[in-house]
Amino acid sequence: MAKVAPKGSTLEPRLLTLDDVAAYMRMSKPEFCQQLPELSRQGFPDPVPVTGLWDRKVIDIWLDRASGLSSERYGFHAPEPVILDKKKLNPTKRRSPSAMRRYEGYTVSECLDDYMRWFRAHRRRIKETEYQINARIRPHFGHRLVSSLTVHEIRKWHEAIAKSPKSIHVAFGKPRRYGKPPSTPEEKRKRRSTANRDLSILKAALNMALRDGHIDTDVGWRGALQFRQVEVSSAECLSINECQVLMPFLTADFRELVRGALFTGARFAELSVLAAGDFDDRAGSIYLSPSKNFSDRHVILTEEGCAFFRRMTFNLHKNDMIFRRADGEPWRGSDCSHRLKIPCQLAGMRHVTFHMFRHTYASLLAMSGVPIPAIAKNLGHHSTETCEKYYAHFTKNYVVDSIRNGTPRLGIDAHIEGDIRGGKVGIRTNRRDTPVPPPEPRRAQTFTRAELLKRARLRGLTGYSHMSKQQLEQELGL
C-alpha cells in the first residue's frame, strides 16, 4: 500500500479507509486500533455513517484543535483542545507475540465482510442485511477491534437504536430524513424489533469470528440480550367471501397468479418460475423449486386446485412457464403492488399484499381441521413452530376438540348431601350449620301517571294523553 501523504498536502480520495487513516496518523494498523479507544475519548472523529470511512478534512480539523492551533468546529464530537501524549496512548497490558499475531488487527468491519461472504452463499435477504450492516452496525463498531468489544457498549448501542426515530427512505444522493421519536407503544415495539434484528446480525458475525479462530472468547457480546415480547404473531388473511369479491377487479393475467397462490400457498417467487412439467396430475401435486429456504417441496392440491392447474397446463410443453403476463413476459417482483392497490380500492377492501394469499391458504387449512404438521409440510417449513405461532388458534379440532374429547369425564359435579351450597347458586358461606335465608319476594315497580306520560312522550306514542294509567302501563310494557 502506498504511503499516505502528510497533512496539508493534496490527497485523493478525501475519504480514508482504516489502513489509510493509520498511515495518515503515522502508525501501523494494529497500533492505531489499540490506541483508537483512547483517541475516541479525546474526541477523535467517528467514521462517516453508512460508508464506514473517515473524512480526512475532519481529521485535520481535529488535529488542529488537539494541538491548540485552531478552534474550528467540525461535524463529529467537537471536543476541547487537548495535547496529545503518546505515553498515555500506549496500553499498559501487552499480549504475547503469538497472541498479537493471531488476534490483533482483526476489526469488526473485517468480521462483517467475512460474514457477508458466507451470507451471500447460504442465506437470502442479502440487500436488506447489507443495508442494516452499513446503516447501523459498521458506522458504530466498524473501526473497533473484535477483541476490544464489551457487553456494556453493545447493550448501550442496542438501546439507543430502540429509542432512535425511524429513517425515511429518500432518493439516492439526497440527505437522510428521520421521523419523530417513537412515542406510542406500537412504535416502541417496532423500533425494539428493529434493534433486535441489528443485534442478531452483529452477534451472528461475531460468533462466526469466534468459530473461525479470530477471537478466543465471546465475553464481549454474550451478555447482550434482545428485547422480549416485541414480535407480533398475527398473520393477516382474507376470508372466502373477500377472495370472491376481489377476483373480478383483478386483471385477467394477474387473476390466474392469485388463484395459483390460493390453491398452493406458494410465494410469488415460486409461482413466477413454475413450469408446466412441475404439475403432476396423477399424484395431484405441484412441485415447487427451492426459493427462500433453499428446499424444494411437493404441494398436495385439492380437487379444485387440480382442475385449475389441469386447465392452465393444457397444451403446454413441460418447460413452458404456467404464469405469464399478458404481454408474454415473465412476472417480476414489482408487478404486485400496483396490481393490487387499485382493485382493493374498487372492491372496498383493506390493503392486501400478495403474501397475504399464502397466509389465507394456511388459515383456511387450519380452520378446516387440517393438522399443523400437514400445513407445515405444504408450506415448506422445516418445523411446526412457525405454523403453531401463526395458525394454531384457527385449528378447532387440533387443540379444542382434542382437549374436550380426550379428557375423561370425572363425574364429581353431582350434588352430594352436606355440600356447603346445598345445590343452590349464589350462596357464599363457610359455615355448614348456617340456615339458608328464603329469597325475598320481588316487589313490582310502580309509576305515577306523570312518570308514565313522560315515558310515553319520550317513546313517541300517539294519543297517550287520553289513556288511563292501566292503558299506559300496557302500551309501555310495564
Least confident stretch, 55-69, 139-153, 167-181, 428-442:
428-442
d(CA 476, CA 478): 6
The answer to whether residue 438 is domain-embedded is no
- 26 plus 162 within the same structural domain: no
Q: Is the dihedral of CA 344, 375, 119, 122 positive or negative?
A: negative
Residue 228 lies in a domain: no
286 and 155 assigned to the same domain: no
Tell me: do 200 and 73 sit in the same domain: no
- Mean of pLDDT values over 140-145: 88
**Domain assignment of residue 250, yes or no:** yes
CATH code for the domain in which residue 389 is found: 1.10.443.10
pLDDT band of residue 322 (cuts 50, 70, 90) is very high
* 374-431 pLDDT tens trace: 888 888 888 888 787 777 666 655 556 667 777 777 777 666 666 666 656 555 555 5
Looking at the DSSP bridge assignments, the partners of residue 300 are: 285
Beta-bridged to residue 297, according to DSSP, are: 288
Q: Is the pLDDT of residue 289 over 90?
A: no
423 versus 95: the higher-pLDDT residue is: 423
Grid coordinates of 254:
394477474
Domain assignment present for residue 397? The answer is yes
Band of pLDDT at residue 47, cut at 50, 70 and 90: confident
> Is 60 exceeded by the pLDDT of residue 3?
no
Q: List the beta strands (DSSP E) in 22-95.
A: 54-55
Of 349, 376, 404, which residue sits at a domain end? 404
Q: Does some domain include residue 280?
A: yes
**Rounded to the nearest 5°, which phi and psi values hold at 395?**
-85, 100
Mean pLDDT of 337-344: 86
Q: Is the pLDDT of residue 25 over 60?
A: yes
Kindly report, residue by residue over 150-197, the tens digit of the pLDDT. Answer: 999 999 999 999 999 988 876 666 777 888 888 888 889 889 999 999
Domain-ending residue, one of 370, 404, 438: 404
Q: Please, which residues have CB within 8 angstroms of residue 427's CB and are 6 or more apart in sequence?
A: 420, 421, 436
Does residue 171 belong to any structural domain of this protein? yes
Q: Tell me: do 41 and 186 sit in the same domain.
A: no
pLDDT in tens, 229-239: 887 656 678 88
Q: Give the per-residue pLDDT at 104.
A: 57
pTM beyond 0.75: the answer is no
- Residue 355, class by beta-carbon neighbours within 10 Å (0-12 exposed, 13-18 middle, 19+ buried)? middle
Q: What average pLDDT does the structure give for the chain?
A: 79
Say which residue, 295 or 426, is predicted with more confidence.
Answer: 295
Q: How far is CA 320 from CA 228, 315, 330, in A?
A: 48, 10, 11
For residue 97, pLDDT beyond 60 = no
Tell me the per-residue pLDDT of 237-275, one tens digit each, with 9 for 90 and over: 888 889 999 999 999 999 999 999 999 999 898 899 999
Q: Report yes or no on 351 lying in a domain.
A: yes
Residues 121, 36 within the same domain: no
What is the structure's pLDDT at 339?
86
Helix ranges restricted to H, 298-428: 303-312, 335-346, 355-367, 372-379, 385-391, 401-406
At residue 80, the pLDDT reads 42
Proportion of the chain in helix, strand, coil states, percent, rounded to 5: 50, 5, 45
Residue 187 and residue 320 share a domain: no
Of 87-96, 203-212, 385-394, 459-468, minimum mean pLDDT range? 87-96
Distance, in Å, from the CA atom of 337 to the CA atom of 353, rounded to the nearest integer, reads 7
Domain check: are 307 and 370 in the same one?
yes
Per-residue confidence band for 436, with pLDDT thresholds at 50, 70 and 90: low
Give the strand order in the sheet containing 297-300. Answer: 279-280, 285-288, 297-300
pLDDT tens per residue, range 108-139: 999 999 999 999 888 878 888 998 898 889 88
Q: What's the confidence (pLDDT) of residue 78?
A: 38
Whether residues 247 and 370 share a domain: the answer is: yes
Model pLDDT, residue 206: 94
pLDDT over 70 for what percent of the chain? 76
Same domain? 399 vs 250: yes
What burial class does residue 331 get, using C-beta atoms within 10 Å of its C-beta: 0-12 exposed, 13-18 middle, 19+ buried? buried
Distances (CA, A) of 246 to 360, 397, 452: 13, 30, 54
pLDDT of amino acid 88: 44
The per-residue pLDDT for 309 is 93
Same domain? 59 vs 114: no
Q: How confident is the model at residue 8 (pLDDT cuts 50, 70, 90)?
A: very low
Question: Is 356 within the bounds of a domain?
Answer: yes
* Enclosing domain of residue 197: 108-211
CA angle 210, 200, 52 (to 5 degrees): 80
Same domain for 24 and 82, yes or no, is yes
Domain count, the chain: 3
Q: Which of 31, 62, 91 is the C-terminal boundary of a domain?
A: 91
Say how far apart CA 159 and CA 155 lie, in whole Å: 6
pLDDT of residue 443: 62
| Residue 184 and residue 151 in one domain | yes
